[in-house]
Amino acid sequence: MDKIARYVRLTAVSGMTGRRWVEMATHLDDAGDDLMLAGLDAAQGQQYQALPEKQVDEVRNWLASSHHHHMITALDAGYPARLTETARFPPVLYIQGDPGVLNHPQLAVVGSRNGSHSGRYWCDWFTQQLALSRLTITSALARGIDGVAH
């Protein structure tokens, strides 16, 4: 199994965030596909194995569809160091655009999935103004206000 598949599968295991994910991913890289040797218990191993290959393929296809698509893990040099200072940092970042901006000053935008017309308008206006002043706008690319931010 390649690294992309191992890392995507590991993110599907309950409780695999932050430092625990980094520890397990490092052990998986060393142990290959021996999940017990890597430190996963039986239930975690089952979650790891149960992830449909279709979901791994979706990540591969998304990455291959554009040179602007990137998957950066907490093991990569390009992963933002300040993010690892948080208690439960996300172990994998899916990036659309320039991953170099991850170390620039940022503002996270989080909002309703069903934002009002006015909320969408003002989110769009504010994030444009902030981006023009060289602030990187970050969101989870969800529907609604988060998506408007991009």
Q: Are 15 and 74 in contact (CB under 8 A)?
A: no
Q: pLDDT value at position 82? A: 86
Q: Which of 41-45, 46-50, 88-92, 110-114 has the lowest mean pLDDT?
A: 110-114
Q: Decide if 145 contacts 112 (C-beta within 8 A).
A: yes
Are 89 and 102 spatial neighbours (Cβ–Cβ below 8 Å)? no
pLDDT over 90 (residue 109): no
pLDDT tier for residue 93 given thresholds of 50, 70 and 90: very high
- With a cut of 90, say whether residue 66 has pLDDT above it: yes
pLDDT at 89: 92
What local confidence, expressed as pLDDT, does residue 146 receive?
A: 67
Q: Rounded to an integer, what distance in angstroms lies between the CA atom of residue 144 and that of residue 88?
A: 25
Residue 61: phi and psi, rounded to 5, are -65, -40
Q: For the chain, give the mean pLDDT.
A: 86
Would you list the DSSP string of 28-88? HHHHTT-HHHHT--HHHHHHHHHS-HHHHHHHHHHHHT-TTEEEEETTSTTS-GGGGGSTT
Which whole number is the average pLDDT over 88-106? 89
Cβ burial, residue 143 (10 Å; 0-12/13-18/19+) = exposed
C-alpha span between 109 and 49 (Å, rounded): 34
φ/ψ (deg, to 5) at 130: -65, -40
